[in-house]
Amino acid sequence: MSERLRSFDRSLPMSLLRAREAVMKKFMPALKAHNLSAQQWRVIRALEAAGDLDISELSEACYLLMPSLSRIIQNLESRGIVLRKSSSSDQRRSLISLTEAGRDIFIEIAPKSSERYEFISERFGPGKLELLYELLEELVEKIEEGEAS
């Protein structure tokens, strides 16, 4: 069976994971300084970009499973970073938004994040980085296309 498999270090999941870990090492110091995980930062960024989102929209935007997202929201809510409120149009629906403190954290971390992107772009090359984004988007589209058929 192992003869048909790619070598472990050349498997796509492992290559993507290694790349993710290398990239995240550059972002984690700024997040750790605010006692944030990468997933919590993802939630903050999504809310800053989109405004109020219901929990299912936030789950899709951040690629987080509902149980994990619920724990993250509870943590951020207890720290005063996000606010959960009922939707005026549907009381069963909760909307999540950034508080002023959440926006302040975003404003403080965003420049450091931009510096990290600049560092990565300089090291890898801006053209290659843009190509990587395009290839990854295409990979997702092609895989999801195949699932739909």
pLDDT digits (tens, 9 = 90+) for 43-85: 999 999 999 999 999 999 999 999 999 999 999 999 999 999 8
Q: Which domains does the chain have, with CATH numbers?
A: 33-148 (1.10.10.10)
Condensed to tens digits (0 to 9), the pLDDT of residues 128-149 reads 999 999 999 999 999 998 776 5
Signed CA dihedral, 61, 62, 64, 66: sign only: negative
Q: Lowest-pLDDT range, 14-18, 87-91, 116-120? A: 87-91
Tell me how far apart the alpha carbons of residues 80 and 30 are, in angstroms, rounded to a whole number.
19
Tell me how far apart the alpha carbons of residues 85 and 133 are, in angstroms, rounded to a whole number.
35
Tell me how far apart the alpha carbons of residues 149 and 146 are, in angstroms, rounded to a whole number.
5
What is the value of pTM for the model shown? Answer: 0.85
CB 95 within 8 A of CB 53: yes
Tell me how far apart the alpha carbons of residues 78 and 43 are, in angstroms, rounded to a whole number.
15
Tell me how far apart the alpha carbons of residues 104 and 20 are, in angstroms, rounded to a whole number.
27
Mean residue pLDDT of the chain comes to 92
